[in-house]
Structure 1
Amino acid sequence: MSSALTQNVDVPSNQAEWRAALESLPSTPQKIPAFFFAHGSPALALAQMPARLRSSGRSDFQQYQGPNGPLANFLRDFGPALLRKYSPKAIVVFSAHWETLGERLVTDYGEENPLLMDYYGFPQESYELKFKSRGDKQLAERLVALYKEAGQLARTTSKLEPRGSDGRGFEGPGLDHGVFVPFRLMFGEEFALPVVQVSIDSNMSPEANWKLGKVVKVLREENVLVLAGGLPIHNLRDFSSFTPDTAQPIHHSFHKAILDALQVSNAQERKKAMLDLPQHPGFRACNPREEHFVPLYIAAGAAENENVKLLNGLYGIPTVAFGV
């Protein structure tokens, strides 16, 4: 990539640097940036990995993406910074773990959002995690109206409608672990602001998911925080890919390609570079399936043609502000 197209910026790679990046975010509650963040896994909440994973030599993963690793430490700084900078009235969140085809579903869960513990074979403590928040009917209906105005099918879903399998042994509704696990670290176990989740597009097209973000762009000027969570390196068939010390050169090459694309100065050139990422030679080694990668496009679409700021450039777990 031509150096003439890229911004000459430092990429935050430790706590002091990411705290400085968070502090340098503009305080613009009248137009809140949209964010892509690394949402991690249930390991963020577990003192130890399940025995079946420890025996597979995955201790590096636990150190990197566990409760005392850099991702957890970043999320603990990230959440309070968002509240301090923007004082949002609500959060709209997209997660890699909820996808629908042809129709957007929007949670309308009332006074308390249930939790969908959509993971299996973990210790009992992982099924006792708490994150108390409420929904927002008016915001949910506003989202449905926005998607319909954009020519997309959309509807709300209530807590009476299951959306997936729960590791406790039933089909249930709720915010999935890509939301409540990081949100516990970001905002605490009891959160006063409404949280509404929207499904991503399961056709996995970068362009289609970019359009999902464009639809909610207007909410940024209505004091609503838009967050899209995933993990741009997510290969459960190769756990070595999750941590910098064990990842192969092809994994590091793809991570660098992501950062390079995000640092392209010109908005249209940056969009092209981002949309080209699935053609990178390392894309499939990092993403056997695209669901953890496409939330990046949702956040970008919510701030199309605006500036971008890297808040955390650590291997595999970046967080990016779009619209600064």
Structure 2
Amino acid sequence: MSFPKTQSEWRTAFDSLPSTPEKIPAFFFGHGSPSLIAGQASNPVMLKAMGPEGDLANFLRDFGPALRAKYKPKGIVVFSAHWETIGVRHVTDYGDRNPLLMDYFGFEPYFYQQIFESKGDRALAERVVQLYKEAGKEAKLSSVHESRGWDGRTSPPRPGPGLDHGVFVPFKLMFGDKIDDVPIVQVSIENSDDPQQNWAVGKAVSKLREEGILILAGGLTIHNLRNLKQFAEQLASPDVQMFDQAITMAASKSELDDRKQSMFDLMKHNGFSQAHPSSEHFVPLYVAAGAGEEGGVQVLSAIYAAPTIAFGV
């Protein structure tokens, strides 16, 4: 089976998506790295894979306008690999201005001067909390007065509130430096290696798709900062290359039970541990799949390590 990898192919895939603003698909997308927004990276492999002129950056520049034109969303609910909580979903309630959380360290000053202007939406945030409670799950609003929780895998210099770089970096490419007509609310994912738990995180808010809300879950299907060669398809180990191919094949299965089991089995694949020393960048795939559980699936791009997949088409 062949999946879109070039600009002409992914633009054709956008065109083939049904225009269904009455039930918007949920999307997993490759959110990249801070290198997407500037031509600086400590490693040339990362710059080529995640740089501003690479395939992922070019895809994101096409992806945002296509989503807005196709679905005209009333709001965006976004999940990022960089915000994990245990048991309780945290939902941003930042009001008229979403602050940015520069949750990276050791970069040039340019990366800490970035701007992405957007607003929150109290009613949408409360609706998200309500849906989790209706699903028997705990959730709470998180305001600008609260610091974000950390999972111990990183050492950010300024913990605090805000949209993390797994949101504002790709959104800058998708929507420009400012989006003032579509509010953005971020929700935490579950800090767990159990794919079922993050599938449930997405499934609980699936009704939003019928309310004009775009659900996006960002991560990377390969994320190994201990071995940067795995980010380059030509340099990656054979097991990781096969793992990358297995992801789109599993997600594309037409029958729900088969798709679900095949996607869960991905975390047992021989290439998974080489691709992911920890699972937080992979499990957003399950959030999107859960949110779009019912319906078809369409791979919009099969960019190595950073595919984009529509669930509930």
TM-score range, shorter chain: over 0.9
- The equivalences for 1:165-204 within 5 A come to 169-192=157-180, 193-204=182-193
- Determine which of 111, 128, 138 is the counterpart of 1:153: 138
Which of residues 35, 48, 51 in structure 2 aligns to 1:43?
A: 35
* Among candidates 11, 18, 33, match of residue 10 of structure 2: 18
Q: Is the 8 A contact 1:127 1:168 kept in 2?
A: no
Structure 2 matches for 1:1-324, cutoff 5 A?
9-49=1-41, 53=42, 58-164=43-149, 169-192=157-180, 193-324=182-313
Q: In the aligned structure 2, how far is the partner of 1:70 from the partner of 1:319?
A: 12
Contact 1:234–1:287 (8 Å) recurs in 2:
yes
> What is residue 6 of structure 1 aligned with on the other side?
none
Mapped partners of 2:193, 2:133: distance in 1: 20
CA 1:298–1:42 in 2, change beyond 3 Å: closer, same or farther?
same
Runs of 5+ unmatched residues, structure 1 = 1-8
Distance in 2, Cα, partners of 1:259 & 1:110: 37
TM-score (norm 1): 0.93
Q: Which amino acid aligns with 1:33?
A: P
CA distance in 2, matches of 1:44, 1:170: 21
Q: What's 1:5 paired with?
A: none
Shift of 1:256: 1.1
Give the % identical residues. 56
Q: Give the conservation status (yes or no) of the 8 Å contact 2:10–2:301.
A: yes
- Give the distance between the partners of 1:216 and 1:154, measured in 2 at CA: 12
Distance 2:61 2:300 in 1: 13
**Inter-partner Cα distance in structure 2 for 1:269 and 1:260:** 11
Shift of 1:264: 1.5
Structure-2 separation of matches of 1:98 and 1:72: 22
After TM superposition, the score normalised by the length of structure 2 is 0.96
Quote the Cα distance in structure 2 between the aligned partners of 1:161 and 1:131: 20
1:60 Cα deviation after fit: 2.4
Aligned-partner SS, 1:191: coil
Superposition RMSD in Å: 1.3
Q: Given that residues 105 and 157 in structure 2 are in contact (C-alpha distance below 8 angstroms), is that contact kept between their aligned partners in structure 1?
A: no
Instruction: Provide the aligned length of Structure 1 versus Structure 2.
Output: 309
Deviation of 1:315 (Å): 1.2
- What are the ranges of 5 or more consecutive residues in structure 2 without an aligned counterpart? none
* Native 8 Å contact 2:103 2:158 kept in 1: no
How far apart are the structure 2 equivalents of 1:101 and 1:266? 30
Question: In the alignment, residue 60 of structure 1 is paired with which amino acid?
Answer: V
Letter in 1 for 2:18: P
Counterpart of 2:179 in 1: which secondary structure? Answer: strand
Amino acid corresponding to residue 218 of structure 1 in structure 2: K
Give me the whole-angstrom Cα distance separating, in 2, the residues matched to 1:156 and 1:265: 36
Looking at structure 1, the residues matched to 269 and 149 of structure 2 have their Cα atoms a distance apart, in angstroms, of 32
What does the per-residue CA deviation read over 1:195-232, in whole Å, with 9 as the maximum and x for residues that have no partner?
00000000231000000111111000000000000001
Report which stretch shifted further, 147-156 or 224-233. Answer: 147-156
| CA displacement at 1:152 relative to structure 2 | 1.1
Aligned partner of residue 162 in structure 1, secondary structure: coil
